[in-house]
A and B are shown apart, each in its own frame.
Chain A
Amino acid sequence: MATYQEFIQQNEDRDGVRFSWNVWPSSRLEAAKMVVPLSCLFTPLKERPDLPPVQYEPVLCSRPTCKAVLNPLCQVDYRAKLWACNFCFQRNHFPPAYAGISDINQPAELMPQFSTIEYIVQNGPQTPLIFLYVVDTCLEEEDLQALKESLQMSLSLLSPNALVGLITFGRMVQVHELSCEGISKSYVFRGTKDLSGKQIQEMLGLTKPAAPVQQGRPAQPQDHSVSSRFLQPVHKIDMNLTDLLGELQRDPWPVPQGKRPLRSTGIALSIAVGLLEGTFPNTGARIMLFTGGPPTQGPGMVVGDELKTPIRSWHDIEKDNARYLKKATKYYDALANRSAVNGHCIDIYAFALDQTGLLEMKCCSNLTGGHIVMGDSFNTSLFKQTYQRVFTKDYNGEFQMAFGGELEVKTSRELKISGAIGPCVSLNVKGPCVSENVRLGGTSQWKICGINPFTTLGMYFEVVNQHNAPVPQGGRGAIQFITQYQHSSTQKRIRVTTIARNWADAQSQIQHIEAAFDQEAAAVLMARLGVCRAQSEEGPDVLRWLDRQLIRLCQKFGQFHKDDPNSFRLSESFSLYPQFMFHLRRSPFLQVFNNSPDESSYYRHHFVRQDLTQSLIMIQPVLYSYSFYGPPEPVLLDSSSILPDKILLMDTFFQLVIYHGETIAQWRKAGYQEMAEYENFKQLLQAPLDDAQEILQTRFPMPRYIDTEHGGSQARFLLSKVNPSQTHNNLYAWGQETGAPILTDDVSLQVFMDHLKKLAVSSAL
């Protein structure tokens, strides 16, 4: 088993892929019986400090319906200078530049260690990156001041050639003209009237008689003097924009008692999208929306201005009592799609004590690959530091963020691509590799407007081989991922990853298939399917579906005697999977209870874009225990791990909880850490803080930080996550009293497993 773990890890490190199955069942029928679909988590721009990009264009297969990139799986005839495409078997000639290659002088893209390779392609002018700030002015004074300062600070983090623009909104929407001289001017729009992109461009004076842009060719804005009134390079405009930001006032319209401020977020976003659509289509841009409350006016409004009408809750939605939900969602969906077509991503920074309408607006970020960050106030470290991290640089000193990603997938003919789940939109490109089914299906190409080294897509495949077709001897299936994108240095790059896995006949080689199961990847991939279903199905139905899949998996791969639950065993490669499913069922991704619609949207947004390790942390938080008795160690996420003389560190991705056991808390209160002879106690208290620090310093978004103790109200964050093996119901059934009982009627992992075993072995099913 160690070798498969290593194999899986090596592949993730090199190619950014984690497959649910690493040996593939060779027929459609058998693959369906596997329960977990053949699928993978793929990180297109995985950080590879050891992979320098090559400075030439990739060599493509000449068959027009194929166009796969030359890769290590291709057969090569060095004498005849021919190569055979491993996807369509077309024989191709090498281009003239490859005349000197031989089997001892191979180009990089043919070497096995370059299964992932990056090309820098030089065509077209290099357009600068664009950052358009869209700022809500209906904020408390302190909040607005903190936001202004963060925006001013961000000007120092941008590169000098980046273009910036500013739109502010409240009751009206103002598009600010950026100029270096004279009085600052702005165009004011009513916050209630919806305008088309064309109308917006006309009103801003951006349209002029020009040659029509050819379909399919990226528009080249020839003359930027028109748009430069609103979008200027940082190096020219930084001083004036800093002053302009500094002078921003709260929205001047008075807010009567019992009312919310009139906030025209919908129009503001529409103008931002229209402005960029007309001036810089098909080039990397971020629209950054900063909002401190829900949209209350105009198209896209989420709640009225009367405070006595609260913003929709899950209860309201279930009872079909959310008046603005459908219309607002449709409105933002249309904006999101327009933005995605133009290659622009939309970020939402929503900081308020109440909901801000993330449920309706989430598609703006989900479809474009933009960020959503949620918090209580702009005047917090969570906002300030998370926002700084948008501008994080890589090991080469360049921004990690990248733009305009277009991912194309090619498969060998025994496979088809069913769909993808992640921060992307379909490009609706049909082809030989495309099958139906799953979200964002019906295509082999997707667009990810905003992409970074951690963006991870879930890709789902279908085996199409017929059941009685023989397995090619030693045959392997192959998949190629081709990602074109605009690097933050504005270079156009292409990253190509080509992988292969063995086929196996499920009838005779099931043990090989089993041994190559990646339960961690499978858990995350199934979870993404579940989250996807939860968008359109009722909660209990999704859980029933998840449970059914788990039971079927156990029936297929468990070893047991019929109707004898005690005989049930799972091999090591499946041993963690039921536990993942148990925690997934209780997670905020599938349980909306106790979360607002905005919160659920927020958690789901991050869940469907993170890499495997972070996604697993979200499903089943990590728990580490610190004590005097040994070094820090991982412990069961279970109530029995909560002990009086231990400190626990729990990471749920969104929160970092440091919990001090009862005795530790009492010692801390008594002040032993201040006394010289109890220096080791001081160190013990410090240890989890140090370990938490690394996470706090790097994670995006920054997690909440909870320092709590036995009996503390914040301890609920820990108590609600641990498996409640000990509750008020079964406390006195235990022989030995260890751990803290959890006051819940939730099913424990033990009960869950008992039921699972009963159902799996039952001959009735």
Chain B
Amino acid sequence: MAESYVKPGNQEKGWNDPPQFSYGLQTQAQGVQKRNFLNKRVPPPQLDGSQVSLPSGAPLPAKPLSPTLPLAPPPSTVVLPARRLSAVDCTALSASTHTECEATIEDVMGLLDWALTACRTTVKRQVCDEVSKRLTLFQEMWISGKLSSPVKKRMYYLAEELKKQNWDSADETHRSLIVDYVNEVSQWMVGVKRLIAETRNLPTEVLNAEVEGPSPKEDTTQNTQ
């Protein structure tokens, strides 16, 4: 679940900076074979019999509409001929950006803490502490309102996927977050990444044992070892 959107580039810092595509759009484009459809050329005249001085290769334009005032409006009754299938509408941000995230931090932390607890059985203590440090930072940023709604929603999704043991999906979500929202997540996302990596390597008995443990909705203080 990654959003598909396009933002304008940074025109202040780079002249003619191209627009920024979300991770979702980029990966979508990667899988598709390049179509190379904008590669046709029109041969010039001059090498056939005609001595035409005006290049005739261009399509004969209709009488150009006069640009002088008053400006005639564009044709409104002309039906636009069928175009190539257009890609996602460039200008609209995904609708989900505007709706608020319904999950709470407790929901998300509960799921993440479940994973961390499972890891503590076999993974080095130092690594778990480092992960924990970053999860705490994430929690603080959420509570103090520093995280935008799409980040919160995707983190909840990530946490759910983690619980369901859909490792690849969780991993992909973490990647989409760090690509699209690096300035919000860069300080703590690597902890989440590590958490996914360590949890997926846990032996199944450990994971399944934890499943019977406290559920995400319960009071999270019970989870601490």
Contacts and interface: CB of A to CB of B under 8 A. Distances in A.
A242 B137 CA distance: 14
Contacts of B29: 694, 697-698
A381 B80 contact: no
Contacts, number: 247
Contact of A381 (B20, B39, B131, B183): B20
Nearest to B30: A392
A749 B53 CA distance: 11
B67 A644 contact: yes
B98 interface: no
Interface residues of A, number: 107
B194 A239 contact: yes
A566 B41 CA distance: 25
Interface stretch (A167-175, A275-283, A422-430, A629-637): A629-637
Given A160-B197, A645-B65, A670-B71, A239 B25 contact: no
Nearest to A395: B31
A640 B55 contact: yes
B38 A380 contact: no
A149 B190 CA distance: 12
B146 interface: no
Interface in B169-215: 174-175, 178-179, 182-183, 186-187, 189-191, 193-194, 197
Interface in A146-181: 148-150, 152-153, 155-157, 160, 180-181
**Most chain A C-beta atoms within 10 Å of own C-beta, residue among B13, B21, B51, B189:** B13
A393 B34 CA distance: 14
B100 interface: no
A152 B190 contact: yes
B26 interface: yes
A133 B37 CA distance: 37
Interface residues of B, number: 81
Contact of B43 (A47, A576, A735): A576
A657 to B, nearest CB: 9
A704 B183 contact: no
B95 interface: no
B46 A705 contact: no
B6 to A, nearest CB: 8
Contacts of B80: 628, 680, 683-684
B43 A393 contact: no
A22 interface: no
B182 A152 contact: yes
B18 A704 contact: yes
Contacts of A706: 16
Interface in A380-433: 380-385, 388-389, 392-393, 395
Interface string A520-553: 0000000000000000000000000000000000
B78 A149 contact: no
B61 A694 contact: no
A246 interface: yes
Contacts of A631: 81-83
Contacts of B55: 636, 638, 640, 725, 750
A505 interface: no
B35 interface: yes
9 contacts: A238-B190, A239-B191, A575-B43, A628-B74, A636-B55, A640-B55, A667-B73, A678-B74, A686-B89
Interface of B: 6-7, 9-10, 13-21, 25-26, 29-31, 33-44, 46-48, 51, 53-55, 57-59, 61-62, 64-65, 67, 71, 73-76, 78-84, 86-90, 126-127, 130-131, 134, 174-175, 178-179, 182-183, 186-187, 189-191, 193-194, 197
Interface of A: 47, 49, 142, 148-150, 152-153, 155-157, 160, 180-181, 235, 238-239, 242, 246, 375-377, 379-385, 388-389, 392-393, 395, 566, 568-570, 575-576, 578-579, 613, 616-617, 620, 622, 624-625, 628-638, 640-641, 643-646, 649, 651, 655-656, 662-663, 666-667, 670, 672, 677-678, 680-681, 683-684, 686-687, 689-691, 693-698, 702-706, 714, 725, 734-736, 738, 749-750, 753
Given A47-B33, A238-B190, A691-B84, 9 more contacts: A149-B183, A152-B178, A375-B14, A382-B9, A625-B59, A656-B18, A666-B67, A667-B74, A683-B83
A-B complex: 10 closest residue pairs judged by Cβ atoms? A380-B14, A381-B9, A690-B86, A705-B18, A697-B29, A634-B40, A704-B16, A381-B20, A377-B13, A242-B190
